[in-house]
Amino acid sequence: MLLAFSVAPTTTDSPDGSVSQAVADAIAIVRASGLPYETTSMFTTIEGEWDEVMAVVKEATEAVSAVSPRVSLVMKADIRPGYTGQLTEKVERVNKLLS
């Protein structure tokens, strides 16, 4: 499965409202998982089996919860059993059509 998620505190002590440190803490957990992933300005997409992906999202959410009493979590999944490498292959197929 591919799972795109965004997790961030809804409150912050930063004077400019930045949530970057909490997000960095969550991304560190994604990196440590060893699963293929991609981080963009709004989401991180992870590829793996259902249980392993959900475990990473839970741990990342708990890391953000450690700095805020309220957390926002948004998820979108592409569940396609039997397919791997889709983190890059989906984009490559579209780019090929655009060439």
Residue type, 92: E
Task: Write down the architecture of domain 2-98 according to CATH.
Answer: 2-Layer Sandwich (3.30)
pTM score above 0.85: yes
Say what percent of the chain tops pLDDT 70: 100
Which tens digits make up the pLDDT trace of 53-83?
999 999 999 999 998 889 999 999 999 999 9
At residue 11 the predicted structure's pLDDT band, cuts being 50, 70 and 90, is: confident
Structure tokens of 9? Answer: 């505190």
Instruction: Kindly tell me if the per-residue pLDDT of 12 is higher than 80.
Output: no
Every domain of the chain and the residues it spans = 2-98
Instruction: Kindly tell me if the per-residue pLDDT of 20 is higher than 90.
Output: no
Residue 25 CA to residue 55 CA, distance in Å, equals: 15
Instruction: Kindly tell me if the per-residue pLDDT of 18 is higher than 90.
Output: no
**Are the CB atoms for 87 and 45 separated by under 8 Å?**
yes
Q: For the chain, count helices (H), then strands (E).
A: 3, 4
